[in-house]
Amino acid sequence: MDYQLNQFKKHLLKNRKSEKTIEVYIRDIKHFLFYFKDKQLKDITNDDIDNYKVFIIKELELSIKTLNKKLVAINQYLKFNGIAVDIKQEKVQSQNFLDDIFSSSDLERILRAINKKNDLRAKAIIMTLRLTGMRVSEMLQLTKHDIDKDTIIICGKGNKYRNVFISEKLKLVWQQYVAVRIDKSEMLFTGQKGAITRQTVDKIIKYYTGQARVKKSKGHAHNLRHKFCKDLVDKDIPLDSIADIVGHENINTTRIYTRKTKKELLDIINNI
């Protein structure tokens, strides 16, 4: 299996896929192969694929959008290995509401789980994403010299620089974390081996989402960015200002957050 995956990785590099895309593809393929660990790749059928889809949606409770992203990677891997399985993506009706965004209650429960274990690094990571709307790649640019600043210049999507605003509340969280921080790198977020990676951030968020018994599909870093944007919209901050704050190049991306969440719509229906 390792040999096949390495060959596929070389194939993706040759076709100029980004490192991030390759990382996601390999992770999704490994999950797929583990699901079929008792079966040879050449013996996988269309019925097997259908069963896997049901597993992803019903048991793991992941969205159709997430499933379809996984199917892209799996389809390419099977074709690369000469497996004639017809993998069709699932269709989903367009929905004009926001789904699976963290609620304030979700975040309170996650923070309680973090505080219970006195995990100051996890708290600093969650609160940094929550109170700045930064992407993980942007947050991992922070250094230990940034903790007292009101604004920090970071390089965002498309290699464009912008100022990120730091609240007094977040500074306090950073100060608590820095007191126990492992000083093996100039970067703010570190571990025993130095600066942490995106994978470490993902593991931390998924772990505490599980500990707080929050829906699994909500447990990803970008969801904290979604929550930040939604909160700004709910506070009637102008869309162009929000776009500037979070680094949206197209204001239509920001406009998405003017939609109601599923819970908000359910509350409206229940109050009829």
Whether 135 sits among the annotated catalytic residues: the reply is yes
Q: Which of 77, 177, 208, 257 is catalytic?
A: 257
CA distance 211 to 107: 12
Whether 112 sits among the annotated catalytic residues: the reply is no
Q: Which is it for the CA torsion 164, 165, 167, 168, positive or negative?
A: positive
| Number of Cα atoms under 13 Å in the Cβ half of residue 213 | 0
Contact in structure between 247 and 162 (CB atoms under 8 Å): yes
Whether 222 sits among the annotated catalytic residues: the reply is yes
Q: Which of 10, 157, 160, 215 is catalytic?
A: 157
CA distance 43 to 141: 45
Integer angstrom CA distances of residue 29 from 64, 103, 234: 17, 31, 39
8-state DSSP, 118: T
CA distance 77 to 10: 12
Q: What 3-state DSSP class applies to 191?
A: strand
CA distance 215 to 115: 20
Which distant-in-sequence residues (6+ apart) come within 8 Å of 77 by Cβ?
8, 25, 29, 32
Q: Which of 70, 135, 181, 226 is catalytic?
A: 135
Whether 226 sits among the annotated catalytic residues: the reply is no
Whether 157 sits among the annotated catalytic residues: the reply is yes
Q: Which of 109, 130, 227, 248 is catalytic?
A: 248
Q: Which of 30, 42, 116, 222 is catalytic?
A: 222
Q: Which of 130, 181, 225, 227 is catalytic?
A: 225
Whether 162 sits among the annotated catalytic residues: the reply is no
Q: Which residues are catalytic?
A: 135, 157, 222, 225, 248, 257
